[in-house]
Amino acid sequence: MENFIVSARKYRPATFDMVVGQDTITNTLRSAITGRHLAQAYLFCGPRGVGKTTCARIFAKTINCSDISDKGEACDRCESCLSFNSLRSFNIHELDAASNNKVEDIRSLNEQVRIPPQIGKYSIYIIDEVHMLSSSAFNAFLKTLEEPPSHAIFILATTEKHKIIPTILSRCQIFDFNRIRLEDIVRRLMYVVEKEQVKIEEEALHIIAQKADGALRDALSIFDQVVSLCGKNVTYRDVIANLNVLDYEYYFRCVDAALKGDISSILLIFNEILEKGFDGHNFVAGMNSHLRDLLVSRDEVTLRLLEATTSVRQKYLEQARKCSADFLIRALDAGSTCDVSYKNSKNPRLHAELWLIKLCTILSESQEGAEKKKPDAPELSVSEKEIPLPSRSAIIRSDEVKAKDSPRPGIPPSTHMPVIEKPARSISIKEVIADNRNPEPKYDSQVNEPEYQKTGSEQPRKEFTHESFMEAWQDFVEDLKNEGPRILSMFRSIKPETADEHTIRIHLSNAAQKDLFVQNYKPRLAGFLENRFTTRELDIETAVDLSESEDLIYTDEQKFNYLQKKYPVLKDFKKTFNLDIT
């Protein structure tokens, strides 16, 4: 029975042309070989399975080839190439730094470097996983790496460049290997499939390439695993079942349910996924990748970023037409938040379900926001506007119009507008003082309305008497309900009186009430009364009743004296505990 050789070894590239996905690096190495510009040390760094060690071996083989082609490839016919292919070359030395990381191992290497090659010009030393060397071993290796013999070339390989000390990095030419693209991995897998005479669906190869995450060695290992299970005929379903990969159809179904706002369906789909043994966090990550693919599928410029087969690409294009950019961006934002906080959640399933519910409500929230932001209707022309009839409160009696609304001096009669009642506006102290000094009504710039005509405009004018004044006072106080309970209480406690037929006296409790009344309410009261009575010139006087103010309690000391008279024990209590009146 013939021994089985894994595909990663059986189909390992033997020339630079066979290296997958590292064209820039292979072209540079070819130019260095053909131009004989060889450095004493090289550092190959990058993720696993991308060809670092493979390129190091091909480079070492080609350097000692006695008949290098014009393309910089080895001939595979000379003694050096034949000895390398049969694994008996004494010019190429491979060292695993993970198991030879001590100072003694590096000292042995330094002694071995002095020996010249038996065949060819160079002795090549390939040190794999060089970051595993200890600090002492690195320091012991510095001098040899900086000034090696003319026949010695070092090729260092590592997956963790940041762990190598800067003094080593400065002595090497550094080549950064990239992850291999999905298309390149699929193309290499198709080559292996043809050689192995295996029938496999193209979508299955894409799933294998995606699972490999940019590492060709991992892709070949997964391919061997699938073939071992399914034989020479491999289907897409066999691959996702063997690799425990979630079918992309679930993602399409979830997005369709979210677009319809069907919360029940999307929760049932998620439950089906969990019952099949898939991890919820993997589903969240996969759903975010699916939304990202939909977003790049909406534009022909970004369509090349979509890595999928032709049939799957068509499905993405069809669903992308149904999704708006706003929906996909908001869904990705919510999905990213869910992905970050998933592991920290005490109830991960509920956390993911809430995210799915948000996906179903994105469109409805966008529609509600669009309705609120609808533009106003276009303004109608003068002929199309409907002129409403004035309300009852806006009708002014003919006698008031004759008395008050005659044209002002300097204003043409054609521009005189009828007086229309409008909502009260705030006024400044300067305007109040000006109104108090000038009894002539103040006209607004837009509507010719007296400033005092706020209330009582519908009542007929009366003769000024004590009884009519008290009735008007009660109406004025009631109109102050919107000023707050403190102001209303103050005016209810005020005792007004009529001194004569032209004078009103307002009795206030203290100087603070007087200042408040004079500044804010005296002009309003004057305008109110002038609109109510036929008498135009009414004098409003204010007086502070000191006899009553003495009985009122304002300060803390007055409050204490009042309580002390009522409860004499408070005096002894204050003295005993040495209390202050605050």
Looking at the fold, whether 171 and 186 belong to one and the same domain comes out as: no
Answer yes or no: is pLDDT of 425 > 70: no
Which of 225, 243, 261 is the C-terminal boundary of a domain? 243
Least confident window among 178-182, 225-229, 386-390: 386-390
Alpha carbons 93 and 86: distance in angstroms, whole number: 14
Amino acid symbol at 286: G
Is 580 or 22 the better-scoring residue by pLDDT? Answer: 22
Average pLDDT over every residue of 249-273 = 92
Looking at the fold, whether 172 and 44 belong to one and the same domain comes out as: yes
Residue 233, domain member (yes or no): yes
Looking at the fold, whether 429 and 543 belong to one and the same domain comes out as: yes
Looking at the fold, whether 216 and 118 belong to one and the same domain comes out as: no
Residue 409, domain member (yes or no): no
Looking at the fold, whether 203 and 134 belong to one and the same domain comes out as: no
Looking at the fold, whether 223 and 354 belong to one and the same domain comes out as: no
pLDDT of amino acid 125: 92
pLDDT of amino acid 375: 56
pLDDT of amino acid 377: 46
Looking at the fold, whether 19 and 145 belong to one and the same domain comes out as: yes
Alpha carbons 51 and 500: distance in angstroms, whole number: 112
Q: What is the 3-state secondary structure (H, E, C) of 474-530?
A: HHHHHCCHHHCHHHHHHHHHCEEEEEECCEEEEEECCHHHHHHHHHHHHHHHHHHHH
Answer yes or no: is pLDDT of 527 > 70: yes
pLDDT of amino acid 211: 87
Distance of CA 522 to the CA centre of its chain: 57
Residue 55, domain member (yes or no): yes
β partners of residue 123? 152
Looking at the fold, whether 148 and 271 belong to one and the same domain comes out as: no
- Note down the domain range covering 229: 182-243
Looking at the fold, whether 544 and 449 belong to one and the same domain comes out as: yes
**pLDDT tens digits, residue range 89-134?**
888 888 888 888 888 888 888 888 888 887 778 899 999 989 998 8
Residue 563, domain member (yes or no): yes
Answer yes or no: is pLDDT of 357 > 70: yes
**pLDDT tier, 254 (very low <50, low <70, confident <90, very high otherwise):** very high
Q: What percent of the chain has pLDDT over 90?
A: 20
- Please, which residues have CB within 8 angstroms of residue 407's CB and are 6 or more apart in sequence? 413, 416
pLDDT of amino acid 302: 85
**pLDDT tier, 373 (very low <50, low <70, confident <90, very high otherwise):** low
Q: What is the number of domains present in the chain?
A: 5
| 3-class secondary structure, 433 | helix
Looking at the fold, whether 73 and 115 belong to one and the same domain comes out as: yes
**pLDDT tier, 412 (very low <50, low <70, confident <90, very high otherwise):** very low
Looking at the fold, whether 156 and 103 belong to one and the same domain comes out as: yes
